Amino acid sequence: MDKRRVVVTGMGAITPVGNSVEEMWESIKTGKSGIGEITKVNKEDYPVSVAAEIKDFDPSDYMERKEARKMDPFVQYAMVASHMAVKDAGLEINEDNANRTGVWIGSGIGGMGTYESQFETFQKKGYRRVSPFFIPMMIPDMAAGQVSISLGAKGINSCTVTACASGANSIGDAFKVIQRGDADVMIAGGTEAPMNKMSFAGFASARALSLNEDPNTASRPFDKNRDGFVMGEGAGILILETLESAQKRGAKIYGELTGYGSTGDAYHITSPAPEGDGAQRAMKQALQDAGIEASSVDYLNAHGTSTELNDKFETYAAKTVFEEHANKLAISSTKSMTGHLLGAAGAVEAVISLKAINEGVLPPTINYETPDPECDLDYVPNEARYQEVNTVMSNSLGFGGHNATLIFQKFNQ
């Protein structure tokens, strides 16, 4: 049986570098960073002082204040980005298509801020003062649940929780739902709002975060002096649709999702497998799924966290998978500007990958100053490059040994 072709017809994003796809993309193209000093918790309590926070976001600009109060920020971000994407796609969800329109939005840690504040209330005032909305505000699937309710999408409704691969896995899983004929349209992506005390405490204690106090240079993927990731927040959403459905509606098409690979390291809870073994297999799987040769990939949007092992092993994985082509391949980590959005990272990077195809722009890796002999490929240092981009691979790797790879291609009739 021929696989159904799946295209992207709408996009939405709330990110540290802009609260719309256009604003975000302008920042990415010009190498503008969204990283600043931590303001959402008391930074004096931690060894880290910088983060990539969402700025100038008021949920009541997009929804009733009363409704917003019943949602953790990770749900608010997903709601706003999803409505943006549906509007961008010119998609009307009605009685005719609701049952064939699904939602699949991942989150790595869900409403940890809600958990934290409600636990403090419980400790001080007892269980009666805990909000009746506590559980539905906190659980990671509630972004997908609330989006489905607000848009009337009655198809498959799901959430993938695979740490920092959640957004990419959710898009890949939604892609497969459409390919196998279980839906015609999917609202898919990832969302995260980890700007709370316990998230900073946990990641700092695990020594995963950059201790660099300069916001401008703290996230420096593939640079020899990288010392950890910078935590970010936000959401990215794609409207995935069968080619037939998109053409019937006369929808604009940003690109085609052609390949998805998903593997497990079976190695360690936080450290990537040596030589990026799991990432290698996910990348090869995605290429096979797309039915293309490695040499046809123009750009790799790397996971590129700015941690010592990730960047080294991802580079090794790229060399193994792409062989000779690795030296010609443009690679960049947009986390140098957005920070690491955890479960939303892969989804926001999917939006960036599609913009790269549509505008013929290779996003830069900013803060690349000191080459690392173990990371010796073309990371598009510091400035964007303009060239035709037909095929993009995007990697997302998560704690627990989760690896996800997506392949987007320029739409060709």
User: pLDDT tens digits for 339-360?
Assistant: 999 999 999 999 999 999 999 9
Same domain, 50 and 199: yes
| Residue that finishes a domain, picked among 204, 225, 249 | 249
- Whether 1 is in a domain gets the answer no
Angle formed by the axes of helices 345-359 and 21-29, nearest 10°: 70
Confidence class for position 3, pLDDT limits 50, 70, 90:
confident
Which structure tokens are listed for 63?
């929804």
pLDDT (average), residues 282-304:
98
d(CA 404, CA 237): 17
CA distances from 157 to 106, 148, 186, 256 (A): 11, 7, 9, 22
The residues, ordered by sequence, that sit 6+ positions from 101 with a Cβ below 8 Å of its Cβ are 93, 151, 153, 154, 155, 183, 184, 185, 186, 187
Residues 349 and 239: their CA atoms lie apart, in Å, by: 15
Mean pLDDT (the chain, rounded): 97
Q: What is the CATH number of the domain that holds 21?
A: 3.40.47.10
Res. 1 pLDDT band, cuts 50 70 90:
low
Distance separating alpha carbons of residues 121 and 386, to the nearest angstrom: 53
Is the pLDDT confidence value at 328 over 70? Answer: yes
Task: Tell whether 206 and 270 lie within a shared domain.
Answer: no
Catalytic site residue from 48, 71, 112, 164: 164
| Number of residues assigned to the chain | 413
- Residues 163, 293, single domain; the answer is no
157: helix, coil or strand? strand
pLDDT per residue over 374-395, tens digit each? 999 999 999 999 999 999 999 9
**Helix residue ranges, H only, 180-307:** 197-205, 243-249, 277-290
Is residue 223 domain-shared with residue 184, that is, in the same domain? yes
Domain co-membership, 164 together with 209: yes
Active site residue 375: no
**DSSP E strand boundaries for 243-298:** 255-264
Query: Could you tell me if 309 and 373 lie in one domain?
Result: yes
Percent of the chain residues past pLDDT 70, beyond the cut: 100
pLDDT class of 106 with cuts at 50, 70, 90: very high
As beta bridge partners, residue 386 has 361
**In this structure, are 193 and 153 located in the same domain?**
yes
Are the CB atoms for 165 and 260 separated by under 8 Å?
Answer: no
d(CA 171, CA 366) in angstroms, rounded, equals: 27
Q: In terms of domains, do 79 and 121 share one? A: yes
211 and 352 share one domain: no
* CA torsion through residues 35, 166, 191, 141, sign: negative
Domain count, the chain: 2
> H or E stretch including 121?
helix 112-125
Domain span including residue 109: 6-249
Domain end, chosen from 198, 221, 249, is at 249
Are 216 and 280 within one domain? Answer: no
Report the range of poorest mean pLDDT among 221-225, 235-239, 274-278, 342-346. 274-278
Which of left, alpha, beta for 266 (phi over 0: left; psi -120 to 50: alpha)?
Answer: left
Residue % of the chain over a pLDDT of 90 = 99
The identity of residue 10, as a single letter, is G
| pLDDT for position 130 | 97
pLDDT at 413 (0 to 100): 84
Q: For position 190, what pLDDT does the model report?
A: 98
Q: Residues 148-159: what's their mean pLDDT?
A: 98
